[in-house]
Amino acid sequence: MRAFLPVLLIPVLASCATLMPTKAGEASEVITAELARGDGSRAGVATISRRGDGLFLSLSAEAPAEGTFGMHLHAVGTCQGPDFTSAGPHWNPEMKQHGLDNPMGAHHGDLPNVTAGADRKITLEFKLPDFAISGPAGLLDADGGALVIHEKADDYKTDPSGNSGKRIICGVFKSGNGS
């Protein structure tokens, strides 16, 4: 019987590995959004991942030009070009006003502006406030969620959109398992 005990413990120990807490750099939950321009061409990728030290948005994209652009999480997981109005309003499950500098805000859809240099590349790693990715009040609720980049910088205070202009890039977040 003792000879079989180690063989029986291996599957048990292997299954326990998935219950261990993640280290700061390891993601325990990941959702991605393939970003596209209004004409349907690829613009980059955005990822939200939960790690041991919080929830992070990572972005790698190409802007249409050099400049600063507003960026928000939107309430509906649909990106129909060319104007992306199908993504609905900013994601705001707590019904706050818009703007990182608004004393009545900020809501979960508020994100920092992103800047593209002469090479038009945008990269960002931003720690998000702790919110639910899934569930009734989560970003991936019944109608999903999207990331939208706007044509102008967000002023961080004007409700409802920070005077950030037209929607020029959009991506629908999908969970790692395809839902």
pLDDT single digits (tens) 118-142 = 999 999 999 998 788 888 888 988 8
pLDDT at 166 over 90: yes
CA dihedral 94, 138, 148, 111 (to 10 degrees): 60
Tell me the C-alpha distance between 67 and 168, whole Å: 13
Which pLDDT belongs to residue 78? 96
Residue 23 reports pLDDT greater than 70: no
pTM equals: 0.81
pLDDT digits (tens, 9 = 90+) for 31-55: 999 999 999 999 999 999 988 888 9
Rounded to an integer, the average pLDDT of 152-163 is: 88
- CA-nearest of 148, 152, 175 to 80 is 148
Predicted local distance difference test score (pLDDT) of residue 134: 86
What's the pLDDT score for residue 176?
59
What percentage of the chain exceeds 90 in pLDDT? 54
Domains (ranges, CATH) in the chain? 24-175 (2.60.40.200)
Residue 146: the pLDDT is: 97
Q: What is the pLDDT of residue 165?
A: 93
Q: Is the pLDDT of residue 19 over 50?
A: no
What was the pLDDT predicted at 131?
A: 81
**Predicted pLDDT at 121:** 97
* Contact (CB, 8 A) for 123 and 179: no
Q: Are 44 and 120 in contact (CB under 8 A)?
A: no
Give the model confidence (pLDDT) of 80-123 as tens digits.
999 999 999 998 888 887 888 888 778 888 999 999 999 999 99
The total number of residues shown for the chain amounts to 179
